[in-house]
Amino acid sequence: MKEINPFTRRRFIDLLTVLGGGLALPSCGRAPEPVATVPKADPIPGQYPRITLGEETILIFIYPGFTAIDALGPEYILAGMMGAKVRLVSKDGKPVMCETGYQVVPHFTFGTCPTRPTLLVVPGGTSGTLDAMADRETLRFLRDVGGAAEMAGSVCTGSLLLGAAGLLHGYRATSHWQTRGLLPLVGAIPTDERVVIDRNRVTGAGVTAGLDFALRLVQHYRGDFYAKGMELLAQYDPHPPFPGGGDPKTADPEVVALLNEMHKPFVDLCADTIRKHAMPPI
């Protein structure tokens, strides 16, 4: 059985009329060929010549305790790339409970997912990220699939997972502002930017930076025009109620101090877990 790429909630007006049935993809219950094709961005003929199609295979790794927006925010944007296959993968294929307590059903297990995707995305979390970093099978999966992927990326503390798998050594990278300072423990070069692209690694800062991360990837794969369309379709135009409050350099110092005090045990545990379980550079 075939399914249409889940672009229906994101498509430009009348786009499916142009595409017809050309975007039929394997159903969630059947794994695609486990070798990703080289992406190509072909313009749609006719009335949408500036809208391009591609063939990216994108895997988003989810694990118990992952932060949902780190995975599902980018998923919304990336799945807007027509022709791309965006799929969720977990260790055993069972429903995965996110950090806030609801479950997400993956498409693939470690053993059934494509082994050479176009892109592997790793979301962050807190205690769940610690558990994932301490799990050898998880690190081996990230190392093997992320190392074979054309590009590997992360959002928030997901960069610690990428790094613990040996995938960030010598790369510029970012993370949540409270854990960015741990990146040298995995051989990465901490960079105070919202999104960092260094060769075939792309990392996003904390939580909401996943949307910027995904839009930059759309720009990378499909160009400026397509990325502008996704930004507008998502109505991504942040107007925070406390301007400057989302950056520790400009936020209320008392708030920064409180959050640092509250989360210091977690940051210390991250450092300890990396030291105990991180794999050597790939």
Residues noted as catalytic: 156
> Contact 156/70 with Cβ under 8 angstroms?
yes
> Contact 210/216 with Cβ under 8 angstroms?
no
Q: Tell me which DSSP letter residue 49 carries.
A: T
Q: Tell me which DSSP letter residue 282 carries.
A: -
> How far, in Å, CA of 22 to CA of 29, rounded?
20
Residue among 199, 189, 201, 205 nearest 157 (CA): 205
Q: Report residue 108 as tokens.
A: 């693939």
> How far, in Å, CA of 191 to CA of 224, rounded?
24
Show the beta-strand stretches assigned E in 146-256. Answer: 151-155, 172-173, 189-190, 195-198, 201-204
